[in-house]
Amino acid sequence: MSVPYRVAEPAVASDPVLYEVRDSGVAVLTLNRPERMNGWGGGLATTFYSLLDDAEADPDVRAIVVTGNGRAFCAGADMGNLNTISNATVDAAEGTDVSKLVGSRHPHFVATLRKPVVAAINGACAGMGLTLALVCDVRFAAEGAKFTTSFARRGLIAEYGISWILPRIVGWGAAMDLLLSGRVFLADEAADLGLVKEVVAPEDLMPRAIAYAEDIAANCAPSSLAVIKQQVYADSMRDVFEASAVAEKLMHESMLRPDFIEGITSFFEKRPPNFPPLSDPGKDS
Tens digit of each residue's pLDDT (9 = 90 or more) over 112-167 = 899 999 999 999 999 999 999 999 999 999 999 999 998 887 788 778 788 899 99
Question: At 71, is the secondary structure helix, strand, or coil?
Answer: coil
Please give the DSSP secondary-structure letter assigned to residue 136.
S
User: What mean pLDDT is predicted for residues 15-26?
Assistant: 96
In degrees, rounded to 5, the angle at the alpha carbon of residue 264 between the alpha carbons of residues 258 and 265 is 85
Separation between Cα atoms, residue 271 and residue 285, nearest integer Å: 27
To 10 degrees, what angle do helices 258-268 and 222-235 make? 110
Whether residue 277 has pLDDT greater than 80: yes
Q: Is the dihedral of CA 51, 56, 60, 63 positive or negative?
A: positive
Tens of pLDDT along 212-228?
999 999 999 999 999 99
Q: Annotate 24-57 with b (16+ C-beta within 10 A) or e (fewer).
A: bbbbbbbbbbeebbbbbbbebbbbbbebbebbbe
pLDDT at 2 > cutoff 80: no
Using CA atoms, how far apart are residues 112 and 165, in angstroms rounded to an integer? 14
Query: Given this model, what pLDDT does residue 283 score?
Result: 47
26-31 and 198-200: which strand pairing?
Answer: unpaired
How many whole angstroms separate alpha carbon 26 and alpha carbon 62? 6
Contact 131, 159 (CB under 8 A): yes
pLDDT tens readout for residues 228-266: 998 888 777 766 667 777 777 777 777 777 777 788 788
**CATH code of the domain occupying 17-218:** 3.90.226.10
- For residue 5, pLDDT over 50 is answered with no
Among residues 142, 150, 151, 154, the alpha carbon closest in space to that of 70 is found at: 142
Torsion over CA: 130, 133, 135, 139 (sign): negative
- Cβ(276)–Cβ(258) under 8 Å? yes
d(CA 108, CA 162): 9
Alpha-carbon distance values, 152 to 36, 78, 156, 157, 179 (Å): 22, 17, 5, 6, 7
Residue 193, pLDDT score:
97
Domain range annotation of the chain: 17-218, 221-269
Average pLDDT over residues 25-47: 92
